[in-house]
Amino acid sequence: MRDAWCVFRGFRCGKALYVLGLMSVVVGYLGPWVPHKTAALTVTGLELAEFAKFFPQVQGGGIAIARELFYLPLITGFVLVALFAGRSTVRWVRLAVPLLLAGVLLVALLPYSIVNGLRQALAVRSSVVLDPQYVGQLRLVVAGAALILLTPLARRLSSRPQGGLVALLALGGAVPALWQFAHLHPLIAALYARPLGLGWGLIACAAGFALLLVWGLLALTWQTRLPNART
């Protein structure tokens, strides 16, 4: 049994485990979390945050759904990609990838109402009025972009802090989103008037975070550093 676990200490296997986890997270997040034979009624992980706000139970506060938490898999996934790029032996990759990821995150997830409000405030030189329903999303996106830009500093960490960081990011990306989905799932099933299973995207995303959690725990146990991205 010990020999089987020792396989994960190898560079190639550790890198494969990490990359496989990242790919599963991204593909799963963009895949269906709510399956349906009609494509228009299929909901991906990315779409759940907007989908959730249209339920009367959520709008009225009867069921507390923190819709911005559905963005955490993507945000933490980007941070984990930036951490991997930070191990590159090529300096421009270590610097350019975090900048690119932070820019994509801001463009993709910054709420339009806040961007438009900021533009109007700058035009007339007045204070910015933030839409309350998007404040949580704004905070998450800004915090995520800041973490991405700080990832090059993680290159200097020893194996155990790196493993702990990856494990925490894996838990932070998966648990809150799955928790919110557990609250939202009965509402979706009632709306569709049929029992709903779990989409393959949800399963793949959760499995990817599980692999990254395993990598982090193995790094803590075996003192294996984050594999270099030989780009």
Can you give the pLDDT at residue 198? 92
Can you give the pLDDT at residue 37? 86
Can you give the pLDDT at residue 57? 86
Domain extents for the chain?
2-222
Enter the pTM of the model.
Answer: 0.85
Can you give the pLDDT at residue 5? 33
- For 76-111, what is each residue's pLDDT tens digit? 999 999 999 988 878 888 899 999 999 999 999 987
Can you give the pLDDT at residue 15? 80
**Partners of residue 32 on adjacent β-strands:** 44
The per-residue DSSP string of 14-56 comes to HHHHHHHHHHHHHHHHHSEEE--SSGGG-EETTTHHHHHTT-H
| Helix spans in the chain (H) | 2-6, 11-30, 48-52, 56-59, 72-85, 91-109, 112-124, 135-150, 159-192, 200-222
Measured in residues, the chain has a length of 231
What string of pLDDT tens digits covers the 231 residues of the chain?
A: 333 334 344 456 678 889 999 999 999 999 999 998 888 889 999 999 999 988 888 877 778 889 999 999 999 999 999 999 988 878 888 899 999 999 999 999 987 766 666 666 666 766 666 667 788 888 999 999 999 999 998 888 877 888 899 999 999 999 999 999 999 999 999 988 888 889 999 999 999 999 999 999 888 876 555 555 554
Nearest to 77 by CA among 33, 112, 115, 45: 45
Phi/psi for 43 (5° steps) reads -120, 125
Cβ atoms of 174 and 206 within 8 Å: the answer is yes
Nearest to 85 by CA among 24, 150, 141, 144: 150
Nearest-angstrom CA–CA distance, 112 and 34: 25
